[in-house]
Amino acid sequence: MPQATSHSPSGIRVDRRQVLIGSTVSALFLGSGHASWAQGPRQGASGAAINGSAAAPLRPHAVRSSRPVLGTDTVLGLERAIDDYAAIVSRGGWRPVPAGDRLRIGARGRGVSALRERLAATGDLGGNARGGDLFDSTVEAALRRFQMRHGISPEGQVRASTLTALNVPAETRLRQLETNLVRVRAYSGFLGNRYLVLNIPAAEAEAVENDVVVSRHVAVVGKVDRQSPVISSRIADINFNPYWTIPASIIRKDLIPKMQAEPDYLARNRIRLFNGESQEVDAASINWNSTEALRYRFRQDPFEGNSLGNVRINIPNVHAVYMHDTPAKGLFDEDQRFHSSGCARIQDIRGLIAWALQGTAWTRSEIDQVLQTDERIDVRPLQSIPVYWVYVTAWADPAGVVRFRHDVYERDGIASQLALSPQR
């Protein structure tokens, strides 16, 4: 096993950019007027070609990109998206899709006609396919593109969250782009050759190397009442088989009520109490109907049910948050992944730490081996890796794909128009 340390525990509003009124644009062209950025057929917000032909069947690369949410061209992408959305707004935006119809493959009617028009407005559907009232495979593919751009499961039918996203006015989307331009400009300097970004509204982490995303990881981030903070830090070390020292806020809000209802809860979950002299305290001696428990330190031992899972990525910060594994992996399958107390739970964290530890003796097989044990080991990356937790609800990439996410913490100033239902 590689050598390592093993031990015992101890909302901005900005002015609109001037846009040309009356410019001839048939859809949301993120490549228009920017030949050096995107060659070939003009592309809409979906990144799909809009050249008069029907939209092609969905391909993953139509909306997925190797470009990071924070990179050298993030500001440029947002500036161009703002220009194009301003042009859409100047022409009156788009009409809402009516509620009530079951919009899925095979459906027909005015709701489908409205859906076609809406998808064509942002280039998810090819311009000559905007007419008609049949929900066919072309519309289904276009709707999947739209859903993927908005962080919604691409199931190809219109449920509540998709309908809400479709009906956010163009004016609101423009304001969202403007707000996020201010945010990302704060990161327009050199971010590092290798860095890690957690985008909180997207609940997603990106490992970035030389301005290219080498891996993406679904994340679970803070609840609305326990928000994940915006921070800039670095990976200090990787903690294998960590103890979890439980914050006082979780003791107060979660553990005390749990112990009142289930007196064996701490024992079942291998959580032990210690006093100020590091002496273990019997949980049965505590009055759980008082605040007495807050005097003690709560620590969960390493095991398969540890709330941190098998590994923690330690990133020093004043909020005492970090990134970690989790035994509750089913949450990664949800669209709205806001369940934590502020820390970030990372899907396939073993792959992420293998990337972070490149150049060391810690290969993926070595990582898997140590995680089969309960041994406490800390390992530092070979070089410092910057970490950025950001709040970005709208961004664009060089392929012309504009992406939006729900303003879950209501920091854009437009939350009432952007609220997405968790039901689909």
Tokens encoding 250: 């979780």
Q: How far apart are CA 148 and CA 166, in angstroms?
A: 12
Residue 349 burial (C-beta neighbours within 10 Å; 0-12, 13-18, 19+): buried
- Site of tokens 């957690």: 198
User: DSSP secondary-structure letter at 19?
Assistant: -
Each residue of 128-137: b (16+ CB within 10 Å) or e?
ebbeeeebbe
For the chain, report the end-to-end CA distance as a whole number of angstroms.
47
User: DSSP secondary-structure letter at 52?
Assistant: S
Distance of CA 391 to CAs 272, 399, 405, Å?
A: 36, 22, 10
Q: Are 193 and 177 in contact (CB under 8 A)?
A: no
Distance of CA 58 to CAs 141, 142, 144, 162, Å?
A: 5, 7, 7, 17
In 328-385, which residue ranges form alpha helices assigned H by DSSP?
A: 349-356, 364-370
Tokens encoding 294: 């807050």
List 323's β-bridge partners, or say none.
313, 344
Q: Are 163 and 99 in contact (CB under 8 A)?
A: yes
The SS3 call for residue 81 is helix
Contacts of 396 by beta carbon, 8 Å cutoff, 6+ apart: 30, 74, 77, 78, 80, 81, 402, 403
- Site of tokens 């995107």: 38
Q: How far apart are CA 302 and CA 267, in angstroms?
A: 13
| CB-facing half-sphere around the CA of 420: CA atoms within 13 A | 26
Q: Compute the radius of gyration of the chain from its Cα atoms.
A: 24
Active centre residues (catalytic): 324, 343
Distance of CA 179 to CAs 32, 97, 310, 386, 395, Å?
A: 22, 26, 38, 24, 10
